[in-house]
Amino acid sequence: MSVITIERKVLEKNDEIARLNRALFAQHGIFALNFVSSPGSGKTSILERTLEHLIGRVRIAVIEGDVQTDLDAQRVAKYNVPVVQIVTHGGCHLEAKLVYDALTRITLDNIDLFVIENVGNLVCPANYDLGEAMKVVVMSTTEGEDKPLKYPGMFRNSTVLLINKIDLLPYVNVKLEKLRQNAFQINPSLIIFETSCTTGAGIPEWCDWLVKKVPAAE
């Protein structure tokens, strides 16, 4: 019982700060995304392809969360967008306070779209609101059809599912339609895009949909 009480208090404090983050985003007219996935799904590659398509159409900033190193931030910085790296030193998820602190290092007046790339983990980040408008969960075809069933919380709390690495479908024992069925079983409202960072498939469709969600791009 005490563990439940402690967890509830931690989440309540996190939600308080998430509301501050959300208010900041609203104040500056920013649309914020929380990118989540397991390690190796291609989340950073998806972000890179997204930046390639959207730079010049919307003004973007990025927060990179990782347990160690700033390697992902270095990749993103090549696109000349504001980027802040958060190193959790083993922590399995970002929390609202970490995002709040990172926001003080970016001039929000010049941003239309804010992407928070969370730590690679499909468990803990599902429960932590960072103040984002929506969660975008990325999974690759190499992870199997049952991933939504094994990690239902993440898929239930996400608005968009990007099924990545569809170019590998001929080489893996995965049926795309079954994967989609499992995802819809958990969350019938999921918006699904099928993508490949190698061939570029699905990236324009995902980016065009995203641009319509950004107020400044209307």
CATH of the domain at 138: 3.40.50.300
- According to the model, what pLDDT value does residue 216 have? 65
Residue bearing the bigger pLDDT, 72 or 193: 193
**Total number of domains in the chain:** 1
Q: Which residue has the higher pLDDT, 120 or 137?
A: 137
Q: Provide the pLDDT confidence category of residue 218 given band limits of 50, 70 and 90.
A: low
Taking the CB of residue 153, how many other CB atoms lie within 10 A of it? 14
| Structure confidence at residue 88 as a pLDDT band (50, 70, 90) | confident
Residue 199: domain span: 2-217
Q: How far is CA 118 from CA 93, 113, 121, 216, in A?
A: 6, 16, 8, 24
